[in-house]
A and B are shown apart, each in its own frame.
Chain A
Amino acid sequence: MDEAFSFVFLMLASTLRVATPLVLCAMGGLFSEKGGIVDVGLEGKMLMAAFFAAATASVTGSAWAGVAAAIIAAEALALLHGLACITYRGNQVVSGVAINILAAGLTVVLGAAWFARGGQTPPLVGDQRLAPLFLPGAGDNILVYAALLSVPLTWWIIARTRFGLRLRAVGEMPLAVDAAGLSVAWLRYRAVLLCGLLAGLAGAYLSIGQNAGFSRDMTAGQGFIALAAIIFGKWRPLPALGACLIFGLLDAMAIRLQGVRVPGLGEVPVQLIQAMPYLLTMFLLAGFIGRAVAPKAAGVPYEKEH
């Protein structure tokens, strides 16, 4: 009985730990996409944030300085994305991919130059990391709660506030927003900056919360999984949270099931379970969740004069 309880508790804690960056990223991406800016660069923003969080925490000795640095780094990339997509009306996917490549390269180059550890930051200890708040051993640092809180908050902002209404409008039909006398560009910049903020927190969580330092490519595609969660959730915060938790659970299971033998099948290949989130995404997108209802103007630069 006790054993079962502790197993469930551990699975739950581990699911939540894994899901936290996904949730933060998904909420960030939701703001961006609701405002009509597709963000393939979530991954890059998160990676850059993770690097600067660890680097700053290691140099200053303060986890909070690390969080601040993470946000600044992610916002810098968010602004870059905004500049390319909103001001210069570039292709949003290309800009996002470019940001991913930039982040993957820059973090390793800077890491090697500053710390000379092959792209890693020095291991973080004590106050350099975010400590668990209530449950020692469960890794429930403040960003885990922030992630959980971000979901209802995102819903409330999008559904119940003036900014949310305008954000939804600019993602559906920017021309109508323009004709209503509102600035399309300013609305979209705010969406992108909110996305940067949340992706920054996700990155900080990875390197100074969940782990004790930055290692190259440590985001390992989680930005893309967050993107899939948004689509899963049909651009709604609560269902997107659900998708993140499913992905988190699959990941937690992958760790648990390592080396476990299933009767008749033999050892379950870990790679198969690790591939589950991606396979699930493919299957569900291929028809199981019905028509995905993306904001109509997502991915389309707004141009007034022809």
Chain B
Amino acid sequence: MQALTPAAAAIELRGIEKSFGSVHAVRGVSLRIEAGTITGIVGENGAGKSTLMSILYGLYRADAGEIWVDGRLVEMASPRDAIAHGIGMVHQHFMLIDTFTVLENMVLGAEGGVLLAGGLAAARAELARLARDYGLSVDPDARIADLSVGEQQRVEILKVLFRGARILILDEPSAVLTPQETDRLFRILQTLKERGVSVVLITHKLREIMAATDRVYVMRQGLVVVERRTADTNSEELAELMVGRKVHLDLDKAPTRWGEVLLRAEHLSLVDDRGVRLLDDVELELRAGEIVGIAGVTGNGQSELLQVLAGIRPPSGGQLTVCGHVLDAHHPGNPAQMRALGLAHVPEDRLRQGMVAAFEASETSILGYQDGPPFTRHYLLDGPAVGAHCARLMESFDVRPRSPALRSSNFSGGNQQKLVLAREIARKPKVLLVGQPTRGVDIGAIEFIHRELVKARDAGCAVLVVSVELDEILSLADRILVMFAGRIVGEVEPGRADERTLGLMMAGADAA
């Protein structure tokens, strides 16, 4: 790689190596972050982006390689070193303490004295200055738990600036934001860049790379496969480089043939034991032969809706009709009953709800359907029958490796998801609920999973997809419902929907 400018880079990594056990996560990566630019690092889940940045931030130690900051070789033994060298990181999962105020979170680790009072006052003044200079305003005395996700992210950025960072690393910053909040974030990043801060943006969303960065590195399987000026490339090329082959980002779908209503929710509500209303008067109809997509920012009731529809949590009010069978708060269903009615559920958290990670793949492949024939006879599991069933599922859903005896946790995210999906679809359900169908799944598997969902739809199944990925909703769904604050705030046809209107609805702007 040639040096681009004679001046020293803000950061230069040389030959970074890192393995976790037998997994070689980062293989000899070298890259340069020029001062005062926005550099993107793009790659699929598991490509090694986050590991690389954790090494740069001192959270992990590299097995080999050098880190240079402003032309000097440095040792990153802990985040303390990284902070001392002016590197700050905004993690994908925020490093904020829910019960603390904004101010308390800001000063943690940089209190400026044994007693808090002085440090907090100084931080308050500094916060006001940062708010002025960068247009980043938050209430210093608000508790983190009371802030929106976008505001929490602003606190994270402020925290980093408060420590005087000149290099800002953002790990998948848009994962939890609406499109508008993402735009706002990118404007903030531009401001930071103009003030001389170097920004590193880690993402798997190509659109964001194209919109926000000056230069991009593509990572695949722990390697940097290419480096480009953003102006000299495009999404298609980057996608191909990320995956290593041509990918079809759009999906061919036959026209919808709507059938009878298989699932109907009327005035469905859910109140938790602290009195918080998680679902509020939800009305929903799901017909045979359609895919309904539920869009929304994480935490607006989508998870709870799935749990209620799947019979995991009883509703607090309203009624639910599944394939002609009526359920309500007094006669709640349970997952087994729902399954018997012909409803299948691919949970959003496959590791905790979709499978038992320590179980063999063959056991995962019958989870929920294990009682009775063909898998159980006289209270005993029929091992060979289960194994054969799993092998069939693996064959038809291309789960790799094809080893029914392998522990579920040893499969990649994409293959785990395919196995869970195979288990649910194999029963030819009438209603299929799918939460985050492609979370933590590589692009190749995404294509496959999307095609299988469309196939199920074409076979007359009523499919409900909940996803935080708007692209996914837009390409899969025949109808789009938007959830905000536990309510369904609107319905959109995919043909007429664009990200802007959806984003506004997701932020509750159209709620009235």
User: Which B89-116 residues have C-beta < 8 A from chain A?
Assistant: 89, 91, 95-100, 104-105, 107-111, 113-116
Contact of B186 with A by CB under 8 A: no
B116 touches A176 (CB 8 A): no
Q: Are A180 and B109 in contact (CB under 8 A)?
A: yes
Asked if A176 contacts B20 (CB within 8 A), the reply is no
Assess whether A161 is in contact with B114, with CB atoms less than 8 Å apart: yes
Chain A residues within 8 Å of B97, by CB? 168-169, 172-173, 176
Cβ–Cβ contact A180 & B116, under 8 A: no
Q: Choose from A160, A165, A180 the contact partner of B95 (Cβ within 8 Å).
A: A180
Is there contact, CB below 8 Å, between B78 and A181?
Answer: yes
B116/A178 in contact, CB under 8 A: no
Question: In the complex, what distance in Å separates the CA atom of A65 from the CA atom of B113?
Answer: 35
Once the chains bind, are B115 and A305 in contact (CB under 8 Å)? no
Chain A: CB-nearest residue to B120? A165
- B interface, by DSSP: helix, strand, loop or mixed? loop
- Residue pair A162, B111 in contact (C-beta under 8 Å): yes
Q: How far is the CB of B241 from chain A (nearest CB, A)?
A: 28
In the assembled complex, the CB of B1 is this many whole angstroms from the nearest CB of chain A, namely 30
**CB 8 Å contact bits of A148-179 with B (1 = contact, 0 = none):** 00000000000011111110110011011111
Q: Mark B71-83, 1 if CB is under 8 A from A, else 0.
A: 0000000111111
A305 and B20 form a contact (CB under 8 A): yes
A172–B98 CB distance below 8 A: yes
Q: Does A182 contact B (CB under 8 A)?
A: yes
Distance of A173 Cα from B97 Cα, bound (Å): 6
Does B95 lie within 8 Å of A175, measured CB to CB? yes
Q: Cα distance A200–B100 when bound, in Å?
A: 32
CA distance A305 to B98 in the complex (A): 23
Q: Is B60 an interface residue (CB 8 A)?
A: yes
Partner of B116, one of A162, A172, A305: A162
Residue B59 lies at the interface, judged by CB distance under 8 Å to chain A: yes
CB-CB under 8 A from A291, the residues of chain B are 274
A181→B109 contact, CB < 8 A: yes
B117 at the interface (CB under 8 A from A): yes
Nearest-neighbour CB distance to chain A for B86, whole angstroms, equals 13
- Asked whether B108 lies within 8 Å of A176 as measured between CB atoms, the reply is yes
Which residues of chain A have C-beta atoms less than 8 A from B99's C-beta? 168, 172, 296
Cα distance, A164 to B113, chains bound together (Å): 12
Asked whether, in the complex, the Cβ of A180 is within 8 Å of the Cβ of B104, the reply is no
B-facing residues in A10-58 (Cβ within 8 Å) = none
Contacts of B78 in A (CB 8 A): 178, 181
Q: Which of A175, A181, A182 has most B Cβ within 10 Å?
A: A181
Q: Are A181 and B116 in contact (CB under 8 A)?
A: no
The answer on a CB contact under 8 Å between A165 and B111 is: yes
Measured CA separation A180–B89 after assembly (Å): 10
20 of the cross-chain contacts (CB-CB < 8 Å) are: A161-B115, A161-B116, A162-B114, A162-B115, A165-B108, A165-B111, A169-B100, A172-B99, A173-B96, A175-B95, A176-B95, A176-B97, A176-B108, A179-B57, A179-B91, A180-B79, A180-B108, A181-B78, A181-B83, A305-B20
- With A162-B119, A175-B95, A180-B110 already in contact, 17 other A-B pairs whose C-beta atoms are closer than 8 Å: A163-B114, A164-B116, A166-B109, A169-B100, A172-B97, A172-B98, A173-B97, A176-B96, A178-B59, A179-B89, A180-B79, A180-B108, A181-B78, A181-B79, A181-B109, A291-B274, A306-B20
Please report A residues at the B interface, Cβ cutoff 8 Å.
160-166, 168-169, 172-173, 175-182, 291, 296, 304-306
